[in-house]
Amino acid sequence: MADLDVDVERGDPGTLVRLAGDLDKITAPLLAEALAKLFAKGLVEIVVDATRLEFCDSSGLWVLVTHQRRVAAHSGSLRLVGVHGVLQRVLDVTGLKAAFDGVALAEL
């Protein structure tokens, strides 16, 4: 069974969401719920740290893209940092890297 740790750290100017483990069909709802709670509080500047993310499938990617669109519609942003491995390959292969290009995929 896959496992995902979602650690949320609120700061200024944005909120850091650290992911560790596998982001897949089973665990994607955990991230979706955490991001929805932040959005409900009006927090639309989000940085997702994927440094410790070991795996990401299309379900996890869909959560990231959906939330990026949601916050962008409210003048916010969702940036990805520490992108590597499977997530990097999935973003490259699907062409979805462009969805995050305005906020640069960067290393911490």
Residue ranges covered by each domain of the chain: 4-51+60-82+97-103
CA–CA distance, 69 with 22 (Å, rounded to integer): 22
pLDDT averaged over every residue in the chain: 88
- Angle between helical axes of 85-94 and 58-72 (0-180°, round to 10): 70
Please check the confidence at residue 106 and state whether its pLDDT lies above 70. no
pLDDT of residue 94: 84
Question: What beta strand segments (E) does the chain contain?
Answer: 4-10, 15-23, 45-56, 77-81
Cβ-based neighbour number of residue 44 at 10 Å: 19
4-51+60-82+97-103 is classed in which CATH architecture? 2-Layer Sandwich (3.30)
pTM over 0.85: yes
The pLDDT of residue 46 is above 90: yes
Three-class SS state of 29: helix
